[in-house]
Amino acid sequence: MGSDSRMQPLRLGDRGPAVADVQISLRILGLLVDDGSARPAGPDGEGLETAEFDEATERAVRHFQQVRGLSVDGRVGDETYRALSEARWSLGDRVLRYDPDRPMRGDDVTSLQERLLELGYDAGRADGILGAETELGLRAFQRDYGLTADGTCGPATLRALRQLGRKVTGGRPQLLRQSASFVESGPHLIGRVIVIDPGHGGPETGFTAGETTEADLVLDLAQRIEGRLTAAGATVYLTRGRDQSPSAADRTAFANDTGADLFLSLHMDAHGSEHARGVASYYYGTGSGVSSTVGERFADLVRREVVARTGMLDLGSHAKVWDLLRMSRMPAVRLDCGYLSHPVDRLLLLDARLRGVVAQAVLAAVQRLYLPAEADPPTGTFVLPSKA
């Protein structure tokens, strides 16, 4: 979702990509139920052009406006558009830090501010904008709780905030807090060590999509996954930072040294044919009986969760003898999450909310991997909070 202001509000009867965008937001918030007629897009992207602002969409917009204290007219003008944009963030979705030039905005910032205020820190007004006062409050909290007082709300600070007992509360209804309740209600992952491997890095950018590179997108995705797994109690390591480009041997050696239980490598594809699209996963195996059972199961779970939650095409799981899979001592899976060369896949992958959904899918897959088989729920349904 961009930040351009609009002249004409979207309303009943309008069609086009902007309507599809609004519908994606409403679905992520659980306000618009996906009845199959409102997929993110059809096989050739026609869903984006023909997405219609129908009555169900208008009802969802009215519901959202009511909940957020906006004037309820069922149209999406500047104010509603901005509010939808900010509502996509739940605490834990991303690392929060103060940027004086472009302050971060969102519901996750509001949650952080409310939490700090509840704990007695002056974090300024809970307005959803991360300003200097909020940063000062955050640093004070970090100092008091023995954390690095860097003014950055990452996994360690988030864990401390959560461990202080009370749930994040506020005037907003529970349905806008889906990811927090998801994490709190799922089986915890304490004691599990998981290595996330964002592909490429540094000078090696992988595929490009406009100004964005595969390397940047998979790093962003890895950080979102790190946030969610860490909040669920796992210990998570990333194989690289933004400027590093380790070899496959370095990546697997790193994972082996950490004694990880699970290794997940992240890539996005591209293809000369613009029709190629979808999600595939790979596990170690020769295709003739020798394979990693747990790897195969996780490859299957993670791919199915991503497909079920994003509507991207299912390209199946496949046995491979790639070094990355072969040299890691723990179950290792590579997830190829969509094609940057396909117009619809690319649009989805460039959307931060969609990457949040993929991170949620990975968390669900990891939790299911460690769940007793008899308790395993159907794909795409795991611990989804009840619709308000």
How far, in Å, are 165, 227, 230 from residue 139 at the CA level? 20, 20, 21
Q: Which is nearer to Zn ion, 63 or 200 (CB)?
A: 200
Q: How far is the CB of 268 from Zn ion (least distance, A)?
A: 6
Closest residue to Zn ion, based on beta-carbon distance:
267
Closest by Cα among 278, 335, 352 to 43:
278
Q: Which is nearer to Zn ion, 139 or 277 (CB)?
A: 277
Q: Which is nearer to Zn ion, 164 or 322 (CB)?
A: 322
Q: Which is nearer to Zn ion, 107 or 214 (CB)?
A: 214
Residue in the block written with tokens 């461990």: 163
Q: Which is nearer to Zn ion, 203 or 289 (CB)?
A: 203
Residues that bind Zn ion (CB under 5 A): 199, 206, 267
Closest by Cα among 314, 291, 319, 289 to 303:
314
Q: How far is the CB of 215 from Zn ion (least distance, A)?
A: 8
Which of helix, strand or coil describes residue 316?
strand
Q: Do 114 and 106 touch, CB atoms closer than 8 A? A: no
Q: How far is the CB of 267 from Zn ion (least distance, A)?
A: 4
Q: Which is nearer to Zn ion, 88 or 342 (CB)?
A: 342
Q: How far is the CB of 266 from Zn ion (least distance, A)?
A: 8
Q: Do 97 and 106 touch, CB atoms closer than 8 A? A: no
Q: How far is the CB of 135 from Zn ion (least distance, A)?
A: 35
Q: How far is the CB of 214 from Zn ion (least distance, A)?
A: 5
Q: Which is nearer to Zn ion, 31 or 362 (CB)?
A: 362
How crowded is residue 149: how many other Cβ atoms within 10 Å of its Cβ?
Answer: 15
Both tokens assigned to 239: 């194989």
Q: How far is the CB of 240 from Zn ion (least distance, A)?
A: 13
Q: At what angle do helices 178-185 and 352-369 cross, to 10 degrees?
A: 10
Closest by Cα among 147, 152, 145 to 130:
152
Residues composing the chain: 388
Residues 6+ apart with CB under 8 A from 277: 312, 313, 338, 339, 342, 344, 345
